[in-house]
Amino acid sequence: MGLDEEVYGTVRSNILSTEPLPNLNRVYAMVVQQERVRTMTRTREERGNPMSFAVQAGGRNSGGGKDKTVVCSNCDREGHDADSCFQLIGYPEWWGNRSRATTTGRGSGQKRGTGGGRNKAGIVRANATQASGTDGGRSVVTDSDRKGLSGLNDEQWGYDRNSRKLIGAGERREGLYFLKGVASAHTCKMKGVASFELWHMRMGHPSSKVVELIPEVNDLGAVLIENRGVNWSNDVENLENDFDEQPAHSTEREGEVNRDVEEIIATDVNASVGNELEENVIQEESLGRGQRVKQPSVRLREYVTNSIQVYPPACSLLQSNSSGTPYPIANYVNYDKFSSHHRSFLATVTAGHEPSTYAEVSRVQTTPFNDQKPGTSGLRKKVKIFKQPNYLENFVQSTFNALSANKVRGATLVVSGDGRYFSKDAIQIIIKMAAANGVRRVWVGQNGLLSTPAVSAVIRERIGSDGSKASGAFILTASHNPGGPNEDFGIKYNMENGGPAPEAITDKIYENTKTIKEYLIAEDLPNVDISVIGKTSFAGPEGQFEIDVFDSASDYVKLMKSIFDFQSIQKLLSSPKFTFCYDALHGVAGAYAKRIFVEELGAKESSLLNCVPKEDFGGGHPDPNLTYAKELVARMGLGKSNSQDEPPEFGAAADGDADRNMILGKRFFGVARSMPTSAALDVVAKHLNLKFFEVPTGWKFFGNLMDAGLCSVCGEESFGTGSDHIREKDGIWAVLAWLSILAYKNKENLSGEKLVSVEEIVRQHWATYGRHYYTRYDYENVDAGAAKELMAYLVKLQSSLSEVNKIIKGICSDVSNVANADEFEYKDPVDGSISKHQGIRYLFEDGSRLVFRLSGTGSEGATIRLYIEQYEKDPSKTGRDSQEALASLVEVALKLSKMQEFTGRTAPTVIT
């Protein structure tokens, strides 16, 4: 995570154990809060290298402060050595006309000044000192600390017990600031050691209340310098003995401007800092409060002069809250190892304004993942898989690399999805990668929401204000799979016709994922607020880049109104005899349900169930079938317990991305599903003399047929139906289609006693074409090896149909014989492409069939789907219960395939 384990182990563990994982803003807040807690609650044993300033006067101390064990080798006097002997280095100005003969120094009995006198001061040396370790609550001074500062005993070293705020010199190296050892510098030579102005300047211009605490100024018992991180504590003993005692001049008043500055001497910083400070002369200036011109120190222009808190070496420095130049966190923390979205976050939070440009495109080194083969509807994995560093980025870059240059550079892309968990993060990543790959503009549905059919509609129908049209889309969805931090996420690419990428493209994407070495991303492009409709433009190295956040429903509603007679449907919904119920299962369909059914068609808002899109679909499974749409099933009178309330005449449900549907009549299960792979469509097409095409599962196979004008209405297993208005299956279209049928059947009957119902329409269909009893058994998260062994066994079994029929008769004698068996292979009539291994079929003499197929929509393991269809054309038998009619064929399917032996499952995960 980029956090040091030793220092941030606790907060790092808290972040990783939070469910769901917090967003970046929350993580940053948690780290900052931890820093504040460490500062306030750190024990004495945990204090790391507190720094302070000690002051040593080069002039005379009061007698009590002399070290009489030191004897000068030049003058033989006690209290100083030859290095500080005035006979050798010269007498200071304050010595005046006093005798310069070899006599004892000033006695300790001389009275100390109490006023703000203007006496001459000696050279004062201010040193940033460093202490380490603890000793009974006090800092222990080491020999390295004494370097460059002699003459102080342990009691004369000051440190701040309370705030531990510090002032020190730091050297900038590779973007980081390092505090360096003990910094020593001569400060100034001035008149008046007890002058208010002198100490006001020495201390960095604090308030007068602070200066008054100095004994030489106000004769208080302690020295407290509290400004930008330095305190002289009351615990510092005998510190006043280091300052010269001079007679006071009572005529001096506090606050008077000192104009007797003789010179300012800039000297070296201690060798431990490693850099020399230039010698400078500061011009005389007014030092009164509010009059001084504030300029940064030229002597420290290469160093941090803000307040700095020093932590143990393993700790990183965070920005101080004190006044001064706000240094970005990047100057303190090296985040080269962070993931791209962490780096992007840091770049964003340290910016002082909203940027209108992004500076560069980053080429991020990466390594391939071996599990990024797109399935029937793109790549679907658990969220934790997608959140691995570079996992999503690898797949997106592989997709860009699989497309022709004119579909990327200067192009317009749509990026949105069903709003499931991780979608918002993924959208920001894809936007940055699109910018880096030269995309001109990205269209995003408000809040990142667009149903899969709406994405197709936007690609085909939407025209930008500048005449632009989308050339493709990244759709973030796992369809009917559950969502949440521990559930599924998915991504797929749709082409310029609005349909899913064909196998030629998905195969190329997969090949790219196996060899990818780098991806492109504009890391310093800030995150875009996708909750607000509007355009945001940036200038970058790849040219102008624009993000357009638009209303999610407008284009789709406009398309639906061009297909269906909304006025007729509105009349039906307004009839007191017709009641309606729609369940979005907390998927993206909820964003369209209110707009279409309530606002456009006049249905009551109470007719909508679970129509607020949620990242985890309300904790449910957004698959519109009798198992997971329990609330709708119960309301429609199809539950195990019969409700006393009269069920609605019509009910429908949608899956997570609103491309699938389930249609229900009052106490009746409808038929808007599974038509292309069901023999029911064969019978109707033959009766009406229509062209008929049987394609593999996967909506992408319909695209070429529709583009060539060979197909206008289509559907697939698992509740998918649609038309050529878009190139995706469309759950809301299916609902409107059924409402249109009901409106047509009842157009002359709205004022009658009874309306024509869904059940009556379906029974009329059975009377004409016969009934295809149909069920699907799903075995989810099966061991992939076991699933492949089962499929291989079923293929091998097809080599001898006589043996197959012998096995079947031994299971159930009244089941018809198998007439044909194969592994379905599809040749596209438009482009001639061939798709193999699309399912294993056993076709019976009476029109019944068994189909075994490995699904590509699961996120982990393998999903085996078993389709069981029993055809019945005897009108006297079309009203039987489905489970009763299919019982014999179900038994044959399970025993013939040895399902339990191969999978270890005694029952399917879901029965539809």
Q: What is the pLDDT at residue 675?
A: 32
In the chain, what are the domains? Answer: 1-36 (no CATH), 362-552 (3.40.120.10), 564-625+650-663 (3.40.120.10), 770-911 (3.30.310.50)
Per-residue confidence band for 547, with pLDDT thresholds at 50, 70 and 90: very high
CA–CA distance, 233 with 213 (Å, rounded to integer): 11
**pLDDT at residue 894 is higher than 50:** yes
**DSSP for 787-856, written as a single string:** HHHHHHHHHHHTT-HHHHHHHHHHH-TTSPPEEEEEE--EE-TTT--EE----EEEEETTS-EEEEEEES
Query: What tokens appear for 299 in the block?
Result: 């002597």
What are 311-340's pLDDT values in tens digits? Answer: 333 333 233 333 333 444 444 455 566 676
Exposure string of 341-376, with b = 16+ CB inside 10 Å and e = fewer, is bbbbbbbbeeeeeeeeebeebbebebeebeebebbb
pTM higher than the cut 0.75: no
| Residues in contact with 792: Cβ distance below 8 Å, sequence separation at least 6, in sequence order | none
CA–CA distance, 580 with 602 (Å, rounded to integer): 11
In terms of Cβ atoms closer than 10 Å to its own Cβ (0-12, 13-18, 19+), residue 575 is middle
Exposure string of 397-410, with b = 16+ CB inside 10 Å and e = fewer, is bbbbbbbeeebbeb
What are 772-824's pLDDT values in tens digits? Answer: 898 889 898 899 899 999 999 999 999 999 999 999 999 998 899 999 999 98
Report which of 59, 88, 60, 61 is spatially closest to residue 73, judged by C-alpha positions: 88
**pLDDT at residue 50 is higher than 60:** no
CA–CA distance, 659 with 657 (Å, rounded to integer): 6
User: Which residues on neighbouring strands pair with residue 489, listed in sequence order?
Assistant: 381
Tell me the percentage of the chain whose pLDDT exceeds 90.
35
CA–CA distance, 220 with 199 (Å, rounded to integer): 15
User: Which residues on neighbouring strands pair with residue 778, listed in sequence order?
Assistant: 865, 910
What are 750-771's pLDDT values in tens digits? Answer: 877 788 888 898 899 899 999 9
Per-residue confidence band for 276, with pLDDT thresholds at 50, 70 and 90: very low
**pLDDT at residue 482 is higher than 60:** yes
What are 550-566's pLDDT values in tens digits? Answer: 999 999 999 999 999 99
What are 525-539's pLDDT values in tens digits? Answer: 989 999 999 999 998
Q: Does the annotation count 398 as an active-site position? A: no
Report which of 677, 745, 272, 706 is spatially closest to residue 495, judged by C-alpha positions: 706
**pLDDT at residue 459 is higher than 50:** yes
Mapped onto helix, strand or coil, the DSSP state of residue 5 is helix
Token look-up 């040193």 returns: 127
Q: What is the DSSP secondary structure assignment for residue 445, as one 8-state letter? A: E
| Residues in contact with 793: Cβ distance below 8 Å, sequence separation at least 6, in sequence order | 897, 898, 902
Q: What is the pLDDT at residue 834?
A: 85
Of the residues 184, 339, 377, 479, which is catalytic?
Answer: 479
Q: What is the pLDDT at residue 100?
A: 66
Q: Which residue has the higher pLDDT, 717 or 670?
A: 717
**DSSP for 220-287, written as a single string:** -SS----SSS----TT--SGGGGS------TT--TT-----EEEE---PPPTTT-SPPPP--PPP---
User: Which residues on neighbouring strands pair with residue 731, listed in sequence order?
Assistant: none
Within a 10 A sphere around the Cβ of 306, how many other Cβ atoms?
Answer: 18
Per-residue confidence band for 879, with pLDDT thresholds at 50, 70 and 90: confident
Q: What is the pLDDT at residue 340?
A: 67
